[in-house]
């Protein structure tokens, strides 16, 4: 289940409010709690929104 923390992180990435280092550092804190399907969902969402 994608939590509020993860959704907030996605929004910050989508709006480019993070440096690359901060993006990875933050992701490293919660990625171990995500299922493979959730990680794939996040990846697809970011790919779709960043290409805009």
Kindly state the tokens that stand for 27.
């992701």
pTM: 0.77
Is the pLDDT at 49 greater than 70, yes or no?
yes
40, HSE (Cβ side, Cα atoms, 13 Å): 3
Residue 28 makes CB contacts below 8 A (sequence gap 6+) with none
pLDDT band at 40 (very low <50, low <70, confident <90, very high): very high
pLDDT band at 42 (very low <50, low <70, confident <90, very high): very high
Kindly state the tokens that stand for 37.
């399907």
Percent of the chain with pLDDT over 90: 50
Q: What digits encode the pLDDT tens for the residues 20-29?
A: 899 999 999 9
**Predicted local confidence at residue 9, as pLDDT:** 92
């Amino acid at each position: 289940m994608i939590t509020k923390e993860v959704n907030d992180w996605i929004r910050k990435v989508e709006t480019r409010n993070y440096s690359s280092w901060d993006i990875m550092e933050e992701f490293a804190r919660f990625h171990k709690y995500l299922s493979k399907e959730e990680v794939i969902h996040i990846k697809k969402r970011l790919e779709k929104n960043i290409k805009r």
